[in-house]
């Protein structure tokens, strides 16, 4: 763990150093903020897909819940940002607990579609509860960002640094979770739930715990998103957001821990380049994703790791 923390600290210091030395650009800041948001969303989802073997189509519900609960708290006044973040994460975890309690008994397609149904339920609730959420126009009026501990999140550089800190902290925590006995149990559930059950593990409780943890981290990414756009919008909780997170994981790799982060970077870079170069975003994005998916047949990091393993085996 000490090594992970050290590595995360070095990366964060390197990123912040870019700003102090003037090497950072506003484009880099924008990218860093979005990379932190979507990287965290993809990493959290991969705890379910890659580690636990539960393919959730409804992960954006927790992303949206985090964004809306944080935004509403900050707009109500009297909340500091750290306190609002903590409550937003707790609220999201609670939602994940309720939804998870009903979903994790199922598996495969039934689990996937039930999570999707709950997500669409939340999306409909956001659209129809106009007095609270602003309906389809979203949470308007801006989100106050009072300074705390010398951090002013209204400044893009501070927000980027804070976003990277949240991402790296979450990555370290997720890695510890996956490497712990709890993580080993989740992998066992993924590979053979019947066997895990015979060994005395409560499949239901372990899956529920993973579901809640993943939801809580997705809630944090939603908080960062609401800070980034100074609002919250129904699309945050729409199935397309879940779909994008799944795409990021598939692009980067499911089996390798950092695969979703690589996928996030590829997805965002592709999105930005295509948007800047052409008006036919969907056509080009779809074609490129199709080529990558059909060409590699797995995520990029999965492909690289398998290729390296094959070379090692082939070596005399």
Partner 1 sequence: MSFTLPRRAALAGAAAITGFPRLGFTQPRQPIKVGVPTILSGRVAQLGISSRNAMQIEVDRFNAEGGLDGRPIELVVRDSRGTPAEAARLAREMISSEGCEFLLDAEASSGGFAVHEVVRETGTLTLHVNSETSSLTADPRQRFWNAFRVARQGIHDSIAGGDYASKVARARNLRRWMTVAPDYAYGRDTTAEFVEYLKHFHSEVQVVGDTWPRLFQPDYTENITRLSQGRPQAIYSCLWAGDLVTFVEQASLFGLFANSAFFAVNMADYTTLQQIRNLPRGVHSGNRYLKNFPNVPGNLDFATEYNRRFNTFPTNWSWQSATAVRLLGKAMRDAGGTTPRAVAAKLAGMRIASPFGADGHVTMRAEDQTLVGYAIGWGVTIPADPFVENMQPSNWADIFRLEAEWKRNKGWN
Per CB under 8 A, residues contacting partner 1 are: 25-27, 29-30, 34, 127, 130, 134-138, 140-143, 154, 156, 225, 228-231, 233, 235-236, 272, 275-276, 279-282
Q: Which of 37, 16, 59 is nearest to 267 (CA)?
A: 37
What is the closest distance, in whole angstroms, from the C-beta atom of residue 67 to partner 1 in the complex?
10
Pick the closer one to partner 1 by CB: 239 or 303. Answer: 239
Pick the closer one to partner 1 by CB: 174 or 274. Answer: 274
Pick the closer one to partner 1 by CB: 25 or 202. Answer: 25
What is the closest distance, in whole angstroms, from the C-beta atom of residue 141 to partner 1 in the complex?
5
Q: Phi first, then psi: what are they for 100, rounded to 5°?
A: -60, -40
Pick the closer one to partner 1 by CB: 156 or 193. Answer: 156
Q: What is the DSSP string of the chain?
A: -HHHHHHHHHHHHHHHHHHHTT---HHHHHHHHHHHHHHHHHHHHHIIIIII----S-THHHHHHHHHHHHHHHHHSS--HHHHHHHHHHHHHHHHHHHHHHHTTS-HHHHHHHHHHHHHHHHHHHHH-HHHH-GGG-B-S------BTTB-TTSHHHHHHHHHHHHHHHHHHHHHHHHSHHHHHHHHHHH-HHHHHHTT--HHHHHHHHHHHHHHHHHHHHHHHHHHHTSB-GGGGSHHHHHHHHHHHHHH-SSSTTHHHHHHHHHHHHHHHHHHH-S-HHHHHHHHHHHHHHHHSS-HHHHHHHHHHHHHHH--
Pick the closer one to partner 1 by CB: 289 or 296. Answer: 289
What's the rounded Cα separation, in Å, for the pair 103 and 208?
A: 9
Q: How many CA atoms lie within 13 A of 214 on its CB side?
A: 33
What is the closest distance, in whole angstroms, from the C-beta atom of residue 112 to partner 1 in the complex?
23
What is the closest distance, in whole angstroms, from the C-beta atom of residue 73 to partner 1 in the complex?
17
Pick the closer one to partner 1 by CB: 156 or 197. Answer: 156
What is the closest distance, in whole angstroms, from the C-beta atom of residue 272 to partner 1 in the complex?
8
What is the closest distance, in whole angstroms, from the C-beta atom of residue 80 to partner 1 in the complex?
19
What's the rounded Cα separation, in Å, for the pair 186 and 193?
A: 9
Pick the closer one to partner 1 by CB: 130 or 291. Answer: 130
Pick the closer one to partner 1 by CB: 75 or 255. Answer: 75
What is the closest distance, in whole angstroms, from the C-beta atom of residue 26 to partner 1 in the complex?
3
What is the closest distance, in whole angstroms, from the C-beta atom of residue 229 to partner 1 in the complex?
4
């Amino acid at each position: 763990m000490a090594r992970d923390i050290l590595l995360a600290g070095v990366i964060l210091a390197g990123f912040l150093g870019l700003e102090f030395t003037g090497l950072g650009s506003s484009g880099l800041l924008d990218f860093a903020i979005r990379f932190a948001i979507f990287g965290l969303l993809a990493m959290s989802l991969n705890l379910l897909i890659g580690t636990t073997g539960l393919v959730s189509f409804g992960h954006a519900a927790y992303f949206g819940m985090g964004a809306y609960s944080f935004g509403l708290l900050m707009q109500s006044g009297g909340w500091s940002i750290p306190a609002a973040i903590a409550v937003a994460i707790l609220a999201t975890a609670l939602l994940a607990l309720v939804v998870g309690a009903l979903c994790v008994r199922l598996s495969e397609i039934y689990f996937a579609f039930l999570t999707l149904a709950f997500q669409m339920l939340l999306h409909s609730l956001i659209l129809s509860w106009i007095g609270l959420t602003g309906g389809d126009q979203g949470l308007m009026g801006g989100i106050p960002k009072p300074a705390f501990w010398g951090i002013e999140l209204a400044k893009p550089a501070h927000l980027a640094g804070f976003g990277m800190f949240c991402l790296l902290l979450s990555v370290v925590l997720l890695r510890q979770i996956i490497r712990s006995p709890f993580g080993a149990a989740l992998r066992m559930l993924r590979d053979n739930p019947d066997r895990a059950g015979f060994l005395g593990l409560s499949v239901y409780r372990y899956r529920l715990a993973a579901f809640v943890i993943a939801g809580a981290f997705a809630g944090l990414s939603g908080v960062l998103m609401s800070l980034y756009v100074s609002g919250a919008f129904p699309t945050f909780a729409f199935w397309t957001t879940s779909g994008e997170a799944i795409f990021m994981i598939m692009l980067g790799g499911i089996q390798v821990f950092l695969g979703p982060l690589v996928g996030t970077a590829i997805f965002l870079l592709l999105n930005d380049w295509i948007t800047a170069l052409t008006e036919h975003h969907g056509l080009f994005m779809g074609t490129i994703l199709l080529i990558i998916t059909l060409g590699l047949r797995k995520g990029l990091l999965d492909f690289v790791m398998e290729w390296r393993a094959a070379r090692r085996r082939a070596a005399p």
